[in-house]
């Protein structure tokens, strides 16, 4: 069977190339074509000898997702892509253009099993895991589109990364590989719903990546309503796992907290949240929910957002309120795909 040459490290490419009788340095040339020059036709890889190009055409394939649609917000700050994988599955990926560089938010699964009430990606459940190469290709899709440096990667698109652990770890190693994109591990953020044993496993890897945990509530009752999959782990256990992650890696954990009017955004909720995390060194990213036509959930007023933030800060917590980027391009998870399928 033909080997998919996309999505491998240099040592993996060298092993494959030399096992078929070609000199080791040809692997580096192939990597340069794919990841520096974006040349994807074997015929155009003219530094490779003709017989090798013919052999590649018979024994290798290049299965890379194709961009189906892309849309940029009016302010130019956010671009969203819908890409089609080789089996026809569709995934979304988002690029946020910050002054310090581009930040790419990738999907790690087709669909998602987690069931968050505000998320369109979970409507049809989990379809399948993405391979490391398919996740990597989302980053390269933007690279080809803008030819601009990429500053950071956020694993926060469709899917729960820690339930696709091996391929996600492989992707993190690939994207930080000096021969590929050379993204600093410190500029990679993995977002999880809080799967306790997998957080401990990730901590043991010794990678200085940032962990973001979708907390979204100050207690189990509210959390189970917003994030049904969270019933498997008590909220205190999730916070304890975050604390262990910090102690093991030295990396402060970010708690993501979607603010939803009349659900989790009251003064009492903020006070209870402070009691839950105690003196732990952590950061809160407060995100007023994007109201959309598909869900009947609304953000609190800006005044209530500020009150919530002030209570956390009064208790010594570091906070940010995330800018709502790209509302008009449906930047929230799963919505571009949903629109595209509805049109079809």
Q: Does residue 85 bind ligand SF4 (CB under 6 A)? A: no
**Cβ-based nearer residue to ligand SF4, 7 or 159:** 159
> Of the candidates 112, 132, 242, 263, which one interacts with ligand SF4 according to CB under 6 A?
112
Q: Does residue 333 bind ligand SF4 (CB under 6 A)? A: yes
Q: Does residue 119 bind ligand SF4 (CB under 6 A)? A: yes
Q: Does residue 158 bind ligand SF4 (CB under 6 A)? A: yes
State how far the alpha carbon of 184 is from the alpha carbons of 59, 177, 228, 341, in Å: 34, 9, 34, 36
* End-to-end Cα spacing for the chain: 33
> Of the candidates 114, 242, 263, 329, which one interacts with ligand SF4 according to CB under 6 A?
114
| Residues numbered 180-199 forming contacts with ligand SF4, rule: CB under 6 A | 193
> Of the candidates 73, 93, 122, 264, which one interacts with ligand SF4 according to CB under 6 A?
122
Question: Tokens representing 173?
Answer: 């190693």
Question: Tokens representing 174?
Answer: 């690939």
CB of 161 to ligand SF4, least distance (A): 9
Q: Does residue 336 bind ligand SF4 (CB under 6 A)? A: no
Single out the catalytic residue among 92, 134, 160, 256.
92
**Catalytic-residue membership of 313:** no
**Cβ-based nearer residue to ligand SF4, 126 or 265:** 126
- Give me the residue label for tokens 């290798």: 60
Kindly tell me the number of DSSP H helices and DSSP E strands found in the chain: 11, 14
CB of 326 to ligand SF4, least distance (A): 16
Q: Are 103 and 325 in contact (CB under 8 A)?
A: no
**Which among 272, 333, 340, 338 is positioned nearest to 94, based on CA atoms?**
333
C-alpha–C-alpha distance, residues 213 and 257, integer Å? 9
Q: What would the DSSP string read from start to end of 223-236?
A: HHHH-GGGGGS-HH
- Give me the residue label for tokens 């130019």: 76
Single out the catalytic residue among 12, 58, 333, 342.
333
**Cβ-based nearer residue to ligand SF4, 183 or 190:** 190
By annotation, the residues acting in catalysis are 92, 333
Sites of contact with ligand SF4 (CB under 6 A): 112, 114-116, 119, 121-122, 158-160, 193, 333
């Amino acid at each position: 069977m033909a080997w998919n040459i996309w999505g491998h490290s240099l040592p993996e490419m060298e092993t494959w190339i030399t096992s078929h009788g070609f000199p080791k340095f040809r692997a580096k040339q192939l990597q340069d074509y794919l990841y520096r020059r974006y040349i994807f036709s074997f015929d155009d890889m003219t530094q490779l000898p003709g017989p090798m190009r013919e052999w590649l055409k018979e024994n290798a394939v290049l299965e890379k997702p194709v961009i189906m649609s892309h849309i940029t917000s009016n302010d130019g700050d956010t671009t969203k892509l819908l890409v089609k994988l080789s089996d026809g599955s569709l995934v979304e990926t988002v690029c946020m253009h910050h002054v310090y560089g581009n930040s790419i938010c990738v999907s790690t699964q087709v669909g998602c099993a987690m069931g968050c009430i505000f998320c369109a990606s979970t409507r049809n459940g989990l379809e399948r895991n993405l391979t490391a190469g398919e996740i990597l290709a989302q980053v390269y899709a933007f690279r080809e589109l803008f030819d601009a440096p990429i500053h950071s990667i956020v694993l926060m698109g469709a899917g729960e990364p820690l339930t696709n652990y091996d391929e996600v770890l492989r992707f993190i190693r690939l994207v930080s590989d000096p021969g590929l994109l050379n993204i600093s591990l410190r500029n990679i953020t993995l977002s999880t719903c809080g799967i306790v044993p997998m957080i401990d496993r990730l901590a043991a890897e010794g990678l200085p990546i940032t962990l973001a945990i979708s907390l979204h509530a100050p207690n189990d009752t509210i959390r189970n309503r917003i994030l049904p999959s969270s019933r498997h782990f008590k909220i205190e256990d999730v916070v304890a796992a975050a604390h262990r992650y910090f102690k093991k890696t030295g990396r402060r954990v970010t708690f993501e907290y979607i603010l939803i009017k009349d659900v989790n955004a009251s003064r009492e909720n903020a006070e209870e949240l402070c009691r839950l995390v105690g003196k732990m060194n952590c950061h809160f990213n407060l995100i007023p929910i994007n109201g959309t036509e598909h869900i009947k959930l609304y953000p609190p007023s800006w005044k209530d957002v500020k009150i919530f933030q002030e209570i956390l800060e009064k208790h010594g917590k570091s906070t940010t309120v995330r800018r709502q980027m790209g509302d008009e391009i449906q930047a929230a998870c799963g919505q571009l795909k949903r629109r595209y399928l509805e049109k079809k």
